[in-house]
């Protein structure tokens, strides 16, 4: 499993600079918002957490269709299916590698993008914390879509269509927790705990559903 993790990390870095492409796309989404809403700093600071979360969600979709595509193309997917190691564990490790290569750089870049949106230190810290907790859920959800579309030659759009509706609850509670950290009447802990619960839920369900879809695709 460690060898698989290291291999997937290397592949993610080599395949078009996955982390850099995601961060640049993240930067592009956040950077164009002030041109659309105007130079109102108070408005930017109010909508900042939501914009950063939306940018992170859309950037996380990049490369999800390639989660199992390399193994499908070189035939190693059949080896993984026949391996003694449970396929669920293999999918979990691949999801972890994908998040480390693409999701974690987005979390690291979020404070800088928060400054672009005129967010204060508390809001930036809350967004970064919620992204650390919530962004893995997007990867686990994306693994299911990638497994369903693995047999399709161009399944990128299908993966995005499958993932986005399921990722909406993660987005809602991530943004709610971020706003609650800067708004005194709203409690931070309840939406944050729900966000953690969603991540744990998809961490358990996502790899199992993806493993089932991969076996069906192989059959």
Phi/psi of residue 40, each to 5°?
-70, 105
Query: Which residues contact residue 52 at a Cβ distance below 8 angstroms, ignoring those fewer than 6 apart?
Result: 30, 110, 113, 114, 117, 119, 127, 131
Residue 110 has pLDDT above 70, yes or no: yes
Q: What is the DSSP letter of 119?
A: -
Average pLDDT over residues 16-25: 72
Ramachandran region, residue 214 (left: φ > 0; alpha: ψ -120 to 50; beta: rest) = alpha
Domain coordinates in residue numbering, the chain: 2-218
Of 9-18, 68-77, 166-175, the least confident? 9-18
CB-CB contact of 106 with 135 (8 Å)? yes
Residue 16 has pLDDT above 60, yes or no: no
**pLDDT in the model for residue 174:** 93
Please tell me the pTM assigned to this model: 0.86
User: What is residue 187's three-state secondary structure?
Assistant: coil
In whole angstroms, what is the distance from residue 206 CA to residue 140 CA? 5
**Other Cβ atoms within 10 Å of 36 Cβ, number:** 6
User: Buried b / exposed e across 102-117, counting CB within 10 Å, b at 16+?
Assistant: bbebbbebbeebbebb
Nearest CA among 136, 86, 109, 91 for reference residue 23 = 109
Average pLDDT over residues 107-122: 87
Average pLDDT over residues 112-141: 90
Q: How confident is the model at residue 153 (pLDDT cuts 50, 70, 90)?
A: low
């Amino acid at each position: 499993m460690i060898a698989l993790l290291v291999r997937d990390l290397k592949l993610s870095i080599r395949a078009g600079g996955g982390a850099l492409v995601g961060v640049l796309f993240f930067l592009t989404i956040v950077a164009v918002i002030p041109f659309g809403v105007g130079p109102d700093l108070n408005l930017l600071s109010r909508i900042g957490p939501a914009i950063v979360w939306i940018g992170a969600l859309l950037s996380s979709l990049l490369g999800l269709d390639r989660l199992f595509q390399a193994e499908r193309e070189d035939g190693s997917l059949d080896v993984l299916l026949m391996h003694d190691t449970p396929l669920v564990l293999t999918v979990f490790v691949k999801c972890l590698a994908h998040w480390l290569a693409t999701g974690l750089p987005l979390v690291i870049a979020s404070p800088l993008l928060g400054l672009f949106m005129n967010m204060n230190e508390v809001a930036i810290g809350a967004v970064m914390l919620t992204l650390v907790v919530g962004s893995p859920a997007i990867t686990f959800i994306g693994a299911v879509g990638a497994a369903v579309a693995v047999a399709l030659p161009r399944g990128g759009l299908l993966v995005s269509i499958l993932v986005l509706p399921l990722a909406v609850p993660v987005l809602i509670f991530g943004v709610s927790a971020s706003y609650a950290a800067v708004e005194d009447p709203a409690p931070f802990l309840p939406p944050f705990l729900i966000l953690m619960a969603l991540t744990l839920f998809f961490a358990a369900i996502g790899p199992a559903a993806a493993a089932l879809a991969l076996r069906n695709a192989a059959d």
